[in-house]
Amino acid sequence: MGDQWVDFKAVKAAVSMEMVLEKYGVKLRRVNETYLRGKCPLPSHTSDKSKESFGVDTAKNVWACQSASCVKKRGGRKGGNVLDFVAAAENSSIREAALKLQGWLIVNGSGGQSAKAESAATEQKESRRVEGKASGVEGNPPLKFTLQGIDTTHPYLAARGILKETAELFGVGFFPGRGSMKGRVVIPIHNEAGELVGYAGRSIDGSEPRYKLPNGFRKLDALFNLHRVTGEYVVVVEGFFDCMKVSQAGFPCVALMGLCLSEHQQKLLAGKRVVLLMDGDEAGREATKEMVPKLVQTNFVRVVPQEGQPDEKGKEELQALLAPVI
C-alpha cells in the first residue's frame, strides 16, 4: 500500500460528503439547500447529549462536529473534508483514507474504471506529459465562442462569499443554456495572454462531477487568473474560488486548478515573489513541500501555513494572513 500512487486532490474533487455518508449509511436532516445536520456518526463521538452536533456543508464539501468531547478526542479538530472524515471513521491516516476512497471509485458495476477514477489517472498522466516536454508547450487553443446569458447574481455565488463585482470581474455565474455546462456555475479560464481557453463548470445541485472541464483541456498548461496579475508578488492557491476570495481581499492571485505544479506553470511564475497559500489539510501540506524546491530555483518563495481553505475565509482573515508577507 505504501508504494501505491494516490492523487489526494483528485479524490477530494471526485468524492462528495453526501457520497461518503451514503457509503457509511449515515442519514442526516436537510436544513436547507446546502446544509445537513444530525447526530455525529464518528467513533470519537460518545456524548448522548449532543443530538445534532454534526453538520455538513455540501456546497463546500466539508463537515464539522461541535461536540466538545468529540473534538477533544480528535485532537481539537472540529472537522474537515472527505479525507478527514474517512480517516476519523476508520481511525486511519489521511493517505490510507485516500486509498480507500480511491478504491471505491476504481470499480463500477461492470468491473471497469469509473469516470471519477479515470479523471484522477488522467491528471497523473497529464502531469507526467507536461513535465516531460523539453520545450514548446502547445497550451490550450483559444475558444472560438463565448457562453451567453451567464447570471453573475446567482445565489450560489453569494453563498460562497463572492461579491457581485468580483463575479462580474471574473465573468463567473450560472449558465442556463445548452451543452455540457448547462445548469452549472461556469468559470472562464484564460491563458497568460488573456485569451479565453475554456470554461470550468461547478455543479450546484449535487450532480457529479463537481467540476467539469472541456474534453482535452490541459490544466497544467495554464494558471487561472494569471492574465490579471501585475507586479512582482503573486499568491498561489489550489482552486478557482480560493483565487476569487484572495483577489477579492485585495491580493494578486493565481490558482493551480489542482495540487500539481508543472514545468510550464513554473516558467509562467518565474521571477515573481511567490506566496504559497495551499489548503491546510495534509494534501495541501504535502503539495507545498513538493513545490517549494522547484519554485526556489526561479522565485523568492514564502509559505503561509493556515487551517482550512482560503475560500472559507473572509476578507479580514485573508488580509491578516497575507498582508505581513506581501
Q: What is the DSSP string of 242-291?
A: HHHHHHHTT--EEE-SSS---HHHHHHHTTSEEEE---SSHHHHHHHHHH
Which residue is it, cell 487568473? 225
Same domain for 15 and 55, yes or no, is yes
Q: What is the pLDDT of residue 129?
A: 44
Burial of 286 (0-12, 13-18, 19+ CB in 10 A): middle
Residues 159 and 114 in one domain: no
* Whether residue 248 is found in the same domain as residue 155: yes
Q: Are residues 111 and 159 in the same domain?
A: no
88 and 144 assigned to the same domain: no
233 within 8 A of 220, measured Cβ to Cβ = no
Same domain, 211 and 139: yes
101 and 20 housed in the same domain: yes
Question: pLDDT tens-digit profile of 222-258?
Answer: 999 999 999 999 999 999 999 999 999 999 999 999 8
Query: Are 296 and 165 within one domain?
Result: yes
Structural domain range at position 42? 8-119
CATH code at 270? 3.40.1360.10
Q: What is the pTM of this model?
A: 0.62
Residues 26, 160, single domain; the answer is no
**Residue 228 belongs to a domain:** yes
175 and 146, same domain (yes or no): yes
**Of 93, 119, 145, which residue sits at a domain end?**
119
Query: What pLDDT shows up at residue 250?
Result: 96
Is the residue at 259 inside a domain? yes
Q: Residue 1 domain-assigned?
A: no
Does any domain span residue 128? no
Could you say which of 119, 142, 163 is where a domain stops? 119
Residue where one domain finishes, among candidates 65, 95, 119: 119
- Counting the structural domains of the chain, the total is 2
Residue 63 domain flag? yes
Question: What span, in angstroms and rounded, lies between the C-alpha atoms of 204 and 56?
Answer: 15
Q: Is 314 helix (H, G, I), strand (E, B) or coil?
A: coil
Note whether 110 and 254 are same-domain residues: no
Residues 109, 173 share a domain: no
Q: pLDDT tens-digit profile of 88-127?
A: 999 899 888 888 887 775 433 233 334 434 444 444 444 4
Cβ-based neighbour number of residue 186 at 10 Å: 22
The predicted structure's pLDDT at residue 134: 37
2 is a domain residue: no
CATH assignment at residue 38: 3.90.580.10
Q: What would the pLDDT profile of 18-42 be if each residue is shown by its tens digit?
A: 888 988 889 998 888 788 999 999 9
The answer to the question of residue 278 being in a domain is yes
Residue 158 within a domain? yes
Three cell numbers, residue 205: 445541485
